[in-house]
Amino acid sequence: MSGGESELAEALLDGEYHALARAITTIENREDGYRDLVAALYEHTGNAEVIGITGSPGSGKSTLVDKLALAYRERGERVGIVAVDPSSPYSGGAVLGDRIRMASSVGDMDVFVRSMSARGSLGGLSMATADAVTAFDAFGMDRVIIETVGAGQNEIDVVRAADTVAVLVPPGSGDTVQTLKAGILEIADVFVVNKADLDGADRTVTELREMVGLGNDVNPILDHRGKHGYGTTDTTDVDGASTDGEGDGWTPPIVETVATRGDGVDELIAEFEAHASHLDESGHRAERERTRSAEELRRLLRSDLNGMVEAEIERRGGIEVLVNETVDGGRDPYSLADELLTPIEECLANRRDE
């Protein structure tokens, strides 16, 4: 690690806010030395409780996050917020970077809000998000809240970055809850019916209760964190052992809130704490950490391999040159792709033979 990254890491660990801001900028922009920086911070993590807030656009995520931060501050806790926003198609930056709905903590140095661009990442989270959480954790934040874009089923990536995931469901017709069945339902540790003062809230709560098997005699639709693992469709854990049919004994509670007034926020925090206790007592926190590490490693490898391929494409004159080979030169894309990947395969094969 160069002297600059070393000094930045030391300043962050010493609690300097400007160093935290600079570190997250370095991480988000993938500047030279960011990997060494994150590596230096990694060993100082593991103390912050990470909460994911997701749900459809308009469900009140930002307002709820603002009130959660205020409530945690009243308890004397420090809060880091990563607000993942839609990406500008022109600059790649966060479209909603002003975070105008998070006003309660303006001027409070112990609530650090950072908007980050999703940058088109599947799952609504850029790869930099998990690294930003690492920076907040190493800095000494007690709570780190991740607010996602709210793009629907792809939000499952938040599971891999958070200890507890809250899915916000706005009051409305049954179609909203039916849509959740498609995938996002499975990632919730806590359901939040926000804007609970509006018409339709009671119906939404009832439908959610039916879907998770609360208050009725039918089997729960949700085998939570069981067959589908931690928000994935894989039925094996990171060691290759089958997890099919194994639940963790946690049934997602349903909390009603009116975030604009702060109603229900204390009850929601109580459910977060109950879930955290459950993770510790059941041993599932360690399982989540292993799953998170496995997914992070996979993401890094995919990113690095993609970078190698992109570099090879540029060496050959750019993607347009390769497209011309397929369109005008009669090359099929499969053999061309094989040709691009062959050097990587040969390198790996040589390493195995050493």
Contact 181, 188 (CB under 8 A): no
pLDDT band at 179 (very low <50, low <70, confident <90, very high): low
- CA atoms lying within 13 Å on the CB side of residue 342: 7
pLDDT of residue 36 exceeding 90, the answer is: yes
- Say what percent of the chain tops pLDDT 70: 75
Cα of 126 vs its chain's centroid, Å: 8
Using one digit for the tens of pLDDT, what is the confidence trace for 114-168?
988 766 555 446 678 889 999 999 999 999 999 987 755 556 777 778 999 999 9
Q: Find residue 191's DSSP bridge partners.
A: 167, 254
Helices within 91-222 (DSSP H only): 127-139, 174-180, 201-212
Per-residue confidence (pLDDT) for residue 105, from 0 to 100: 63
- Average pLDDT score over the chain: 81
Using one digit for the tens of pLDDT, what is the confidence trace for 56-99?
778 899 999 999 999 999 999 999 999 987 654 444 444 454 45
Q: Which domains does the chain have, with CATH numbers?
A: 1-42 (no CATH), 45-282 (3.40.50.300), 300-353 (no CATH)
Across the chain, the runs of DSSP E, i.e. the strands, are 49-55, 79-85, 111-117, 143-147, 164-168, 190-193, 254-256
Q: Which residue has better confidence, 225 or 136?
A: 136
Task: Tell me the whole-structure pTM to 2 decimals.
Answer: 0.81
